[in-house]
Amino acid sequence: MLFFLLLVTSCAATPQNLSDKMFTFPQETNTAHVRLTTSRQNLQAVTVCLRFFTDLKRHHSLFSLALPSFDNAFLLFKSANLDSFQMWVRSMAANFEGLDFKLNKWQSVCATWDAASGLAQLWVDGKPSRRKFTSFGSNINGPIIIALGQEQDSHGGGFDAKQSFVGMMSDLHMWDYKLSPCEIRKYTNGRGYANGNVLNWNSLEFQIIGRVLIENQQNTCQ
């Protein structure tokens, strides 16, 4: 495992199938993260879905997409309050409260937004928040840098250990359109959904920086 970690850290990003795998972020740090690569650099709508497991009771970043002009171009952020999340689009924030989040449990989260309406929405384990207004009228237009495990306060950097993610993360997909409620529920149930056309967990281009492990998912035996 250590050899594989060092190999990934030192090599250029190449697509890998991470089916039944997970990223493990084992410690609080202002360096360790996974940088994701995509050829899509102009987004008029976004859906990001992922599964994660953590015991953190502080703020932490789940998904950070930055542009030179907007460090929070698309940010999914877990607030310290247990039932609260934030979504930032082009540095405009929406707070989502009263969501059914629990520590030490695998949970799925999906975030949607489109430039035409400016409406953002979160889904936790297939259950929707109300839709909220953020940024509208302008696309998210590259050069895009995407980081897992850290929150970018500058384009590709500006990390703060107290905002880092500690835990496990898996099944990340990103689309350049809003998934329907039916498709989000399919993702939550783990079957029958289309892979992301911007980021695809089953063919993911990435680079690991620092201590992040690739491990088998910890599926419960039946």
Beta-ladder partners of 154: 157
pLDDT at 5: 45
- Residue 123 counted as domain residue: yes
Copy the structure tokens of residue 24. Answer: 């493990």
For 69, residues 6+ apart whose C-beta sits below 8 A from its C-beta are none
By residue range, what is the domain housing residue 41? 21-216
Q: Give me the number of domains the chain comprises.
A: 1
List Cα–Cα distances, 7 to 97, 208, 214, in angstroms. Answer: 41, 9, 12
Helix/strand number for the chain, H first, E second = 2, 18
5 within domain boundaries: no
The reported pLDDT for the residue numbered 215 is: 98
Q: Rounded to an integer, what distance in angstroms lies between the CA atom of residue 50 and that of residue 170?
A: 6
In a domain, 7, yes or no: no
Residue 94 lies inside a defined structural domain of this protein: yes
For residue 39, give every residue at least 6 positions away whose Cβ sits within 8 Å of its Cβ, in sequence order, or none: none
Output the CA torsion 206→209→210→213 (10° steps). Answer: 0
- Which CATH number do you get for residue 72? 2.60.120.200
Taking the model in full, what pTM does it have? 0.92
Spell out the residues 6+ positions from residue 23 whose beta carbon is closer than 8 angstroms to its own: 34, 148, 149, 168, 169, 170, 212, 213, 214
CA 163, CA 181: separation in Å to the nearest integer?
A: 30
Q: Which residue has the tokens 């979160």?
A: 122
Task: Answer whether residue 204 is part of any domain.
Answer: yes
Residues of the chain predicted below pLDDT 70: 1-13, 220-222
Half-sphere exposure of 82 (CA within 13 A, CB side): 7
pLDDT of res. 67: 97
Inside any domain, residue 222:
no
Identify the pLDDT of residue 205: 97
Residue 1, domain member (yes or no): no
What is the rounded CA–CA span in Å between residue 162 and residue 38?
27
Does 202 fall in a domain? yes
